């Protein structure tokens, strides 16, 4: 496989140092495998770090059980695994010995401590792990197969969840020969919308939560002791807080209802974030932060939504989640951000996920091919979405209620939109109707200046207006302003309830910028530390 071949070249250039290997040997145990012995089973939790002293290891194709890829293997000086190791998730690929092999095996918790103590070794390992995950994502060859995203709203939601959470998968369309063959192999009969893990395992709970549990992405909080800090929300502010909490040695858990990255994670390109002169997607930026936080020991749980919070007699907060699980922590950082408002249009909910979307990432862009896309909103997120969608859509229409975008959108972005022949900005317009049977087919648009309606044949509408804070679960516990945003002290992040802090867009009066959110998430941990250790 190109992935392993490239990683082999990388490791030849930057191998682990002899001192690193000695540290591994001291922390772990040596193990001997004979040819054919399994080193790691696909779908099982990653519990050890495996470093090869001698011999040869191959990745196992999840569908054929033969050697994965184009024949590349790992040899002495290599190590097996990808970014799943940091989170303790389940392996997306298995591995076995090709011939007699000797390894150093280090338990995951011990290895994470070792990596925190030896940053040079950690850098080498994480670079390779992240590269492997990126190439798995790009290869189109993965242990997860999604069938029928074009036909099923539920399966389309699964594909979006997998894509935004960096879960490698391949997508098959109903009617394809391969989809029919796979359905037969899985005893599904005729091909139907489904999610398949490995060769023939049908995921019985085809929901984001069901997939997260199957892949080990969700922390079993029932087995966890009290955390030092619970960070509610996995956008830029929450992820930054997770990085700094972990770096300070705090036991931290980040929970996120949808996707690590939050609303910012749906931005296809952020060009004004310092340090990235050619721009970076919101998803990539937050994924890098997530990996960084996991390196320091911070845990992540997706999808998880907080619905209530109570305080024990000992001062510890206990947060109830939407599935009834309870997680307790000495402090809470509220980083739940905002969500786009639902438009008061008939049949909106009927088309959500099958024509109406609230994000414009690769997962949604694939459904814009050969159709006209409609983007509703006048902020930077709407502008970035329009630029991104113009690559695949026949044409992009931006609907703006006002007469100008000068005060709501960055000048550089507005200039690009106006110069792009594939994009048209319609001022003083609004969406008034959605039409279609099983999926969206066309929309009605009202030109308020002329007082006329017109229609667009569109299978994709992107709603990016309004900013409703996610704070219902905090009502009665902390002070909120008249719009539901969390009120904090002057220039600070303390709420009216000691031990609960707020950062990012959910905070009343915050600056709605990614850089500001990252800064707030970083700074707040010093105050959390003071509360936890008071």
> Is 110:29 a contact under the CB 8 Å cutoff?
no
Q: Same domain for 7 and 132?
A: yes
Q: Same domain for 294 and 443?
A: no
Q: Same domain for 11 and 54?
A: yes
| Average pLDDT of the segment spanning 286-313 | 93
Predicted local distance difference test score (pLDDT) of residue 491: 66
Res. 173: pLDDT tops 50: yes
Q: Same domain for 391 and 410?
A: yes
Mean pLDDT score of the chain:
91
Predicted local distance difference test score (pLDDT) of residue 9: 40
* Token couple for 481: 């302003």
Whole-angstrom distance, CA of residue 445 vs CA of residue 448:
9
Last residue of a domain, one of 463, 488, 513: 463
Cα 283 to Cα 1, 334, 467: the distances in Å are 26, 20, 20
Q: For residue 167, give its domain range.
A: 144-215
CATH of the domain at 173: 3.40.30
Q: Same domain for 254 and 284?
A: yes
| Average pLDDT of the segment spanning 428-451 | 94
199: left (phi over 0), alpha (psi -120 to 50) or beta: alpha
| Confidence category of residue 13, pLDDT binned at 50, 70, 90 | low
| Average pLDDT of the segment spanning 139-157 | 87
Q: Same domain for 371 and 491?
A: no
| Confidence category of residue 4, pLDDT binned at 50, 70, 90 | very low
Tell me how many domains the chain contains. 4
| Confidence category of residue 101, pLDDT binned at 50, 70, 90 | very high
Please give the span between the terminal C-alpha atoms of the chain, in angstroms, as a whole number: 53
Last residue of a domain, one of 420, 448, 463: 463
Q: What proportion of the chain, given as a percentage, has pLDDT over 90?
A: 66
Whole-angstrom distance, CA of residue 127 vs CA of residue 130:
5
Whole-angstrom distance, CA of residue 316 vs CA of residue 334:
15
Q: Same domain for 426 and 282?
A: no
| Average pLDDT of the segment spanning 285-299 | 93
* Token couple for 488: 């904090």
Q: What proportion of the chain, given as a percentage, has pLDDT over 70?
A: 97
For residues 303 and 268, which has the higher predicted lDDT (pLDDT)? 303
> Residue 321 contacts by C-beta under 8 Å, 6 or more apart in sequence?
221, 255, 304, 305, 306, 307, 327
| Average pLDDT of the segment spanning 452-458 | 95
Res. 488: pLDDT tops 60: yes
Predicted local distance difference test score (pLDDT) of residue 282: 86
Res. 246: pLDDT tops 90: yes
Q: Same domain for 127 and 8?
A: yes
Q: Same domain for 228 and 289?
A: yes
pTM for this predicted structure: 0.90
Maximum pairwise Cα distance, the chain: 79
Q: Same domain for 45 and 119?
A: yes
- Helical H segments across 253-337, by residue range: 282-295
Dihedral of CA atoms 340, 344, 350, 354 in degrees, nearest 10, equals -40
Q: Same domain for 376 and 409?
A: yes
Last residue of a domain, one of 86, 111, 136: 136
| Confidence category of residue 532, pLDDT binned at 50, 70, 90 | very high
Question: Degrees (nearest 5) of the Cα angle 414, 426, 514?
Answer: 40
CB-hemisphere CA count at 13 Å for 529? Answer: 15
- The predicted-structure confidence for 203-236, as pLDDT tens digits, reads as follows 988 889 999 999 998 888 878 899 999 999 999 9
CATH of the domain at 131: 2.60.120.10
Whole-angstrom distance, CA of residue 188 vs CA of residue 191:
7
Predicted local distance difference test score (pLDDT) of residue 223: 81
| Confidence category of residue 269, pLDDT binned at 50, 70, 90 | confident
Whole-angstrom distance, CA of residue 245 vs CA of residue 253:
9
CB-hemisphere CA count at 13 Å for 182? Answer: 30
Q: Same domain for 184 and 236?
A: no
| Confidence category of residue 489, pLDDT binned at 50, 70, 90 | confident
């Amino acid at each position: 496989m190109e992935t392993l071949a490239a990683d082999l070249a990388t490791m030849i250039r930057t191998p682990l140092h002899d001192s690193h290997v000695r540290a591994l040997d001291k922390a772990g145990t040596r193990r001997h495998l004979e040819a054919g012995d399994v080193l790691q089973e696909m779908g099982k939790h990653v519990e050890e770090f495996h470093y090869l002293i001698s011999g040869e290891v191959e990745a196992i194709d999840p569908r054929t059980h033969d050697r994965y890829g184009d024949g590349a293997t790992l040899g002495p000086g290599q190590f097996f695994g990808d970014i799943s190791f940091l989170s303790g998730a389940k392996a997306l690929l298995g591995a076995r010995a090709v011939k007699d092999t000797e390894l150093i095996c280090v338990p995951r918790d011990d290895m994470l401590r070792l990596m925190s103590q030896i940053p040079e070794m950690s850098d080498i390992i994480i670079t390779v792990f992240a590269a492997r995950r990126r190439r798995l994502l790009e290869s189109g060859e993965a242990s997860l197969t999604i069938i029928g995203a074009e036909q099923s709203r539920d399966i389309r939601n699964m594909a979006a969840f997998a894509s935004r959470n960096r879960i490698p998968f391949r997508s098959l369309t109903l009617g394809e020969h391969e989809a029919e063959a796979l359905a037969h192999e899985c005893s599904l009969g005729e091909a139907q919308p489904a999610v398949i893990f490995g060769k023939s395992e049908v995921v019985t709970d085809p929901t984001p939560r069901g997939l997260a549990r199957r892949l080990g992405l969700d922390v079993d909080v029932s087995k966890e002791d009290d955390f030092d800090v619970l960070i509610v929300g996995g956008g830029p502010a929450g992820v930054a807080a997770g990085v700094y909490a972990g770096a300070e040695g705090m036991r931290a858990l980040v929970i996120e209802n949808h996707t690590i990255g939050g609303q910012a994670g749906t931005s296809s390109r952020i060009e004004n974030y310092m340090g990235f002169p050619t721009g970076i997607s919101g998803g990539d930026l937050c994924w890098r932060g997530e990996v960084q936080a996991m390196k320091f020991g911070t845990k992540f749980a997706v999808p998880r939504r907080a619905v209530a919070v109570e305080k024990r007699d000992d001062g510890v907060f206990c947060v109830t989640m939407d599935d009834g699980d309870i997680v307790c922590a000495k402090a809470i950082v509220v980083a739940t951000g905002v969500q786009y408002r639902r438009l008061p249009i008939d049949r909106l909910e009927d088309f959500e996920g099958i024509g109406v979307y609230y994000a414009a990432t690769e997962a949604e862009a694939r459904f814009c091919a050969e159709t006209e896309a409609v983007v509703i909103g006048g902020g930077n997120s709407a502008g970035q979405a329009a630029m991104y969608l113009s690559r695949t859509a026949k044409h992009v229409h931006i609907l703006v209620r006002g007469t100008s975008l000068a005060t709501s959108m960055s000048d550089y972005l507005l200039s690009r939109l106006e110069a792009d022949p594939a994009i048209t900005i319609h001022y003083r317009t609004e969406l008034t109707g959605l039409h279609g049977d099983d999926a969206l087919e066309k929309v009605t648009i009202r030109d308020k200046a002329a007082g006329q309606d017109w229609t667009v044949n569109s299978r994709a509408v992107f709603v990016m207006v309004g900013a409703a804070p996610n704070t219902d679960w905090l009502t009665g516990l902390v002070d909120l302003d008249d719009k539901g945003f969390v009120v904090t002290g002057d220039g600070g992040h303390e709420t009216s309830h000691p031990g609960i802090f707020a950062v990012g867009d959910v905070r009343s009066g915050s600056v709605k910028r990614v850089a500001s959110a990252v800064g707030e998430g970083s700074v707040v941990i010093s105050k959390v530390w003071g509360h936890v250790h008071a």
